[in-house]
Amino acid sequence: MNLPKGPESLCFDKDIFIRDDFDVDQFVAECRKQVQLEEMREDLELYYKLLKTAMVELINKDYADFVNLSTNLVGMDKALNQLSVPLGQLREEVLSLRSCVSGVIQAIDDQLFKHEDLQKKKVCVMRLIQVVRSVEKIEKILHSQSSKESGSQENSSLLAGQILERIATEFNQLQFHAVQSKGIPLLDKVRPRIAGITSMLQQSLEGLLIEGLQSCNVDIVRHCLRTYATIDKTRDAEALVGQVLVKPYMDQVIVEDVVTSSPNGLEKMYSRLLEFVPHHCRLLREVTGGVVCSDRADTVPGYDFLVNSVWPEMIQAIEERLSYLFNPGNPEVFYERYSISMEFVRKFERQCSSQASVKRLRAHVSYASFHNRWNLPVYFQLRCINFPVLYGELTALTVCVAVGSMFHLQVSEVLWFCLMRCWSDRVYLPPLAHRLWKLTLQLLARYAKFLDEVLTKPSVMELTKEPCRPLPSSASSTSSRTSVDEGGSEGGGPISLSTKQLVYIAADIQKLQEKLFSSLLAALFDSRARLSSSVPSLNSRMSQHLTERCCRFLKSAAEVPRLYRRTNKEVPVLASAYMDNALRPLHQLLTDSMGLVTPSTTHEWLHVALSECTQRYYETISEVLSSVRKMEESLKRLKQARKGATTAATAGANGGPTDDGKIRLQLALDVEYLGEQIQKMGLQPGDISMFSTLMDLVKEARELAE
């Protein structure tokens, strides 16, 4: 079905009406995104007229067939009856042929199924044959090697590295075919022989690897590790290195008596542990590519002995033999041990061969276990248990006379001391940053609540002779408190706040605000800069969004000539309707942003969007006026050629303004209306880029129209 082609200016695609999933609501919603409802209705009416015209033309084209349709059907029933008998016979023949073909197809399917089954069985047999051949080949190699060793009367029963690699390659194929043949009864008869080969291979590999490590023989270690990798047993090799090479060294170094024998015993122990890698693992790292070597082709990939052999043995020995390290009972000692231990972890990470190795280390179970053993929550509780401001133990306004103190009241001095102590070098630990930040906010909130109680209920404040709870550490030794009493009496009775007390409170609040602002500003500077870096992108996105929505309607200025040329419309006195549609997104922005962002931000968005829109609007109007001028000149030449004949397109019936004058006047009204709306938005039209040039353009056009 072919629909008539409509004008290119239609706001919809004509083929959408013949789709199976055509939906009226969706159609209207999609069209409204492009044009207004009035324009959509006009396009629909225009296309409706085209459809009616096309239908009439179709009927006229085949009119004879329409008229003779009933005549051609006379006698059709007899013809159909005559065809029914031969059609029935043909149907029987087709059914018979179909039955025969189905039988042949079924027979072929049966043969194909049997052939496929035979192929599967053949593959199974070939795999079993390969399994038996591999077993016999490996046993032959083992028997031959045993005979050579017996003949040479060597004490070592280890297989040579090259022989092991040959066996490993064949063993790898054996394993593959054995897995593929799983469930076949014949495989169970061969399985004991496979188990014997596996046991012999593992024992030989373990012995050969130990011998290579003890003798520092690079070739033996390389052959051995390559063999482990061939049979996919790299983790077994790493575990063996941990037991044979790492564990004895840890037993000698990680000893509680040695660590506790000197004040820096823990640092010495960690230093000796870090020496293990360069002194005892150089051979392994050279073979596996962990250090720079001359021939990278001979390296054996797939191993990470630092992560899977050295680190687990270290941590296990530390956790078992030095469990007292993790006791947070003494915060000062705990801080010292934790800092030294984390420095050891960082230095160990630097010994890893790559970033990928560091990631594997941090993902290791023992890495998380070591970090979790440090009871940081208990350490935090012990650190903040002596904060009197947090627990509301300060109940009097006492004067602080500490030497060099920046505050006047003891409660303010205590607050500042607690805040500084939270982030001091001997207290702060990076994993506790979130807890210390929360504690900082709690201290400030408790201090603010204390001041609120003082200022709202002064009658409950009492002057006490008992000294306030001393500050932790050395802060208490540099300050003393005396009660402030102006007009009150000593004796513990309720009094009102004095003028000096109020002044002290105000001064301390100002000082705290100043100090907090400077301290927090430095801490949050990076985050603030990161947020600020997003502002230009946001402004650009907003301006682009507004410009696209406005310019979609401003393009309608090009349709103004069509509205006045040869239409005999009256002289325009109001701006075009498209101007309100174009400015609606800007007015909507003013409504949506009120109370949410600063007016300066909104004005900046409007200024950039209006500047871009004015530039594009100027280009559109310039093209329209240029086209009008060319049309006007053409009509003048045509008029002169006709020697004075009147032209309806250039003058009204009563000699009023020409159509071109109406067009110019309408554009001038539109631009003037734009300037008025800009002022209503709180901007100055003169500050908008190209607006002055646009006004000069339409001013000249108005003069020509008048």
Does residue 63 carry a pLDDT above 50?
A: yes
Q: Show Cβ contacts of residue 418 under 8 Å, excluding neighbours closer than 6 positions.
A: 384, 387, 389, 390, 443
Region 431-442: mean pLDDT is 89
> Which of 164-173, 493-502, 569-578, 642-651 is predicted with the least confidence, judged by mean pLDDT?
642-651
Does residue 486 carry a pLDDT above 70?
A: no
- Determine the pLDDT at residue 344: 95
- Determine the pLDDT at residue 70: 64
> Which of 22-26, 40-44, 59-63 is predicted with the least confidence, judged by mean pLDDT?
59-63
- Determine the pLDDT at residue 478: 33
Structure tokens at 613: 């829109």
Q: How confident is the model at residue 395 (pLDDT cuts 50, 70, 90)?
A: low
Cβ(27)–Cβ(15) under 8 Å?
no
3-state secondary structure 410-452: HHHHHHHHHHHHHCCCCCCCHHHHHHHHHHHHHHHHHHHHHHH
* 547 vs 474: which has the higher pLDDT: 547
* 78 vs 366: which has the higher pLDDT: 366
- Determine the pLDDT at residue 322: 93
Region 214-241: mean pLDDT is 84
**pTM > 0.85:** no
* Helix 499-523 / helix 525-532 crossing angle, nearest 10 deg: 60
CA Rg, the chain, in Å?
47
* 447 vs 269: which has the higher pLDDT: 269
pLDDT mean across residues, the chain: 79
Question: Phi and psi (nearest 5°) for 482?
Answer: -130, 145
Q: How confident is the model at residue 158 (pLDDT cuts 50, 70, 90)?
A: very low
- Determine the pLDDT at residue 149: 53
Q: What is the pLDDT of residues 598-630, one digit of tens each?
A: 888 889 889 999 999 999 999 998 998 888 888
* 650 vs 310: which has the higher pLDDT: 310
As a whole number of angstroms, the distance between CA 371 and CA 364 comes to 11
- Determine the pLDDT at residue 550: 92
As a whole number of angstroms, the distance between CA 698 and CA 675 comes to 12
Cβ(413)–Cβ(405) under 8 Å?
yes
Q: In which element (H, E) is residue 407 found?
A: none
Does residue 342 carry a pLDDT above 60?
A: yes
- Determine the pLDDT at residue 211: 83
Q: What is the pLDDT of residues 248-282, one digit of tens each?
A: 999 999 999 888 888 899 999 999 999 999 988 88
Q: In which element (H, E) is residue 202 found?
A: helix 185-215
Q: How confident is the model at residue 582 (pLDDT cuts 50, 70, 90)?
A: very high
The listed range with the strongest mean pLDDT (13-27, 73-87, 265-279) is 265-279
Dihedral sign from CA coordinates of 514, 518, 524, 525: positive
* 364 vs 5: which has the higher pLDDT: 364
Region 387-398: mean pLDDT is 60
As a whole number of angstroms, the distance between CA 292 and CA 278 comes to 13
- Determine the pLDDT at residue 320: 92
Q: Show Cβ contacts of residue 11 under 8 Å, excluding neighbours closer than 6 positions.
A: 31, 34, 35, 39, 40, 43
Region 421-437: mean pLDDT is 89
* 371 vs 42: which has the higher pLDDT: 371
- Determine the pLDDT at residue 448: 84
* 425 vs 478: which has the higher pLDDT: 425
Q: What is the pLDDT of residues 537-546, one digit of tens each?
A: 778 888 888 8
Does residue 118 carry a pLDDT above 50?
A: yes
Q: How confident is the model at residue 305 (pLDDT cuts 50, 70, 90)?
A: very high
Q: Show Cβ contacts of residue 224 under 8 Å, excluding neighbours closer than 6 positions.
A: 161, 164, 205, 208, 209, 212, 237
Q: Is 251 left (phi over 0), alpha (psi -120 to 50) or beta?
A: alpha
Q: How confident is the model at residue 489 (pLDDT cuts 50, 70, 90)?
A: very low
* 399 vs 51: which has the higher pLDDT: 51
As a whole number of angstroms, the distance between CA 134 and CA 157 comes to 22
Does residue 442 carry a pLDDT above 60?
A: yes
- Determine the pLDDT at residue 311: 95
- Determine the pLDDT at residue 142: 67
- Determine the pLDDT at residue 484: 38
Question: Phi and psi (nearest 5°) for 227?
Answer: -70, -45
Region 112-136: mean pLDDT is 80
* 322 vs 396: which has the higher pLDDT: 322
- Determine the pLDDT at residue 525: 66
Does residue 293 carry a pLDDT above 90?
A: no
The CATH number fitting domain 538-640+657-704, selected from 1.10.357, 1.10.8, 1.20.120, 3.30.200 = 1.10.357
Q: How confident is the model at residue 462 (pLDDT cuts 50, 70, 90)?
A: very low
Dihedral sign from CA coordinates of 534, 539, 545, 548: negative
What are the domain boundaries of the chain?
14-121, 538-640+657-704
Does residue 658 carry a pLDDT above 60?
A: yes
Q: How confident is the model at residue 115 (pLDDT cuts 50, 70, 90)?
A: confident
Does residue 89 carry a pLDDT above 80?
A: yes
Does residue 648 carry a pLDDT above 60?
A: no
Helix then strand count (H, E) for the chain reads 29, 2
Q: What is the DSSP string of 251-283?
A: HHH--HHHHHTSTTHHHHHHHHHHHHHHHHSHH
Does residue 361 carry a pLDDT above 90?
A: yes
As a whole number of angstroms, the distance between CA 58 and CA 2 comes to 12
Q: What is the pLDDT of residues 159-209, one digit of tens each?
A: 455 666 677 667 766 667 666 667 676 666 677 777 777 777 777 778 878
